[in-house]
Amino acid sequence: MANSSLENDTLFILQLKQGERHAYDKLFNTYWKPLFISAFNVLKDQKICEEIVQDIFIGIWKNRRNLEIKVSLEKYLFSCVRYQVFNQFRKNQKKLREELFENLDQRCTYENPESEMLYKELVQKVDSIVNELPEKCRLVYQMSREEQLSHKEISSRLNISPKTVENHITKALFVLRASMGGFLSWLPFEILFF
């Protein structure tokens, strides 16, 4: 079955190389939405995600004559998205969204045992960093992320101001971003987001 899929991809790529517009249109119509959703699940920015996907398709059409894809078209396209998402994170490292550390288990997929192992390692790393936070900061972060409590609810439970809650969460996210930077640089993005 896999060989049949790769043979179909090879034929499809040949059509693209020959400039057959219907092949490009089919590729676009089949993959635009799933690629956009994959990027949006991570970046949460519609405009940037649309630009990423559009740029990928424009690049494919412009470079169609030299197109050499050794894996399935689907894997190739999703790899292109992951690469562009990674570039967005590198460009905006200081603005790394807090969503990165939320709901990891719901955003991850395990395409293979290595992916599952890397996901577990990521969760352990995040947990380890959170456990090293000062007690009040850790408690506020966990109440926010694990119990899904609002700043106001945390403020009421801990008898502290909402601004103090916000400061603790900001500090926790800063520590997580700083501590995870090296880890994230080599971790495949499909582990985190797809």
Predicted confidence (pLDDT) at residue 4 exceeds the cutoff of 60: no
Is the pLDDT score of 160 beyond 80? yes
Q: Supply the pLDDT for residue 118.
A: 56
Instruction: Give pLDDT tens digits for 71-108.
Output: 788 888 888 888 888 778 667 654 544 555 555 444 44
Opening angle at CA 44, ends 43 and 46, nearest 5: 105
| Predicted pLDDT of residue 136 | 93
pLDDT of residue 65: 87
71 vs 69: CA distance, rounded Å? 6
- Asked whether the whole model's pTM tops 0.85, one would answer no
In this prediction, residue 190 carries a pLDDT of 39
pLDDT computed for residue 175 by the predictor: 83
pLDDT per residue as tens digits for the range 20-73: 899 889 889 989 999 998 888 777 788 989 999 999 999 889 988 888 877 788
CA distance readout (Å), 163 to 11, 128, 152, 172:
59, 26, 9, 14
Terminal alpha carbon distance of the chain = 23
Q: Report the distance separating Cα 102 and Cα 146, nearest Å.
A: 9
What is the reported pLDDT for 93? 52
Q: Over 70: is that where the pLDDT of 149 sits?
A: yes
| Section 140-152 average pLDDT | 86
Residues 6+ apart with CB under 8 A from 1: none
The arithmetic mean of pLDDT across residues 112-125, rounded, is: 61
The arithmetic mean of pLDDT across residues 130-154, rounded, is 89
